[in-house]
Amino acid sequence: MDDILHHLPEFIGHHTLLVMLFVVLLLVLVGGEVSRLFRGYRELTPAALTQLINRQNALVVDLSSTVDFENGHIAGARNVQMSQFDPENKDLAKARELPIAVYCKSGNTSTQAAARLVKAGFKHVYWLGGGLAAWRSADLPTARGK
């Protein structure tokens, strides 16, 4: 270990660009993990979402278009288009203390909805990482129609 520390300044002097790249990558990774811890909502796997639905009777919100929702969704999910998603809605406000899980087709749009729910004061907010695509790839059932 002493030998490594002895040669470290020489390595840094000869490989400055490589060391700077390492430091930047390290800061990006640490920053991403820190922001993930403090964002106020948690990512769920399909299996974890199943447990949340079964054990805590979570409200599940599908942010897909009406056509995509009718082609397949998680059973019991409510469909709300992202353009009409309002955490301050009086019906949704009644569920402020319940666990609420949001998902969309691929998992990208639902993170925005989860952040809006946290900002509106919801305490137990989750999003399905990978969206409905992850649900289907886990071979979990979907419902069709409204």
Give the model confidence (pLDDT) of 41-96 as tens digits. Answer: 888 999 999 999 999 888 899 998 888 888 889 998 988 887 777 777 777 777 77
Same domain, 60 and 81: yes
Is residue 118 included in any domain, yes or no?
A: yes
| Residue 52 parent element (H or E) | helix 46-56
Q: How many domains does the chain have?
A: 2
The domain that holds 128 is classified in CATH as 3.40.250.10
Residue 36: its pLDDT value, please?
A: 63
Same domain, 23 and 65: no
pLDDT tens for each residue of 105-114 = 877 788 888 8
Give residue 101's pLDDT band: very low, low, confident or very high (50, 70, 90): very high
Same domain, 55 and 103: yes
Q: How much is the pTM?
A: 0.72
Query: Is the per-residue pLDDT at 100 higher than 80?
Result: yes
Q: How many residues are present in the chain?
A: 146
Is residue 142 included in any domain, yes or no?
A: no
Edge-to-edge strand list for the sheet holding 100-103: 41-44, 125-128, 100-103, 59-62, 78-79
Provide the domain limits for residue 106.
41-137
Same domain, 45 and 106: yes
Is residue 132 included in any domain, yes or no?
A: yes
Q: What are phi and psi of 78, to 5 degrees?
A: -100, 135
pLDDT tens for each residue of 9-35 = 888 888 889 888 988 898 888 877 676
SS3 (DSSP) at 12: helix
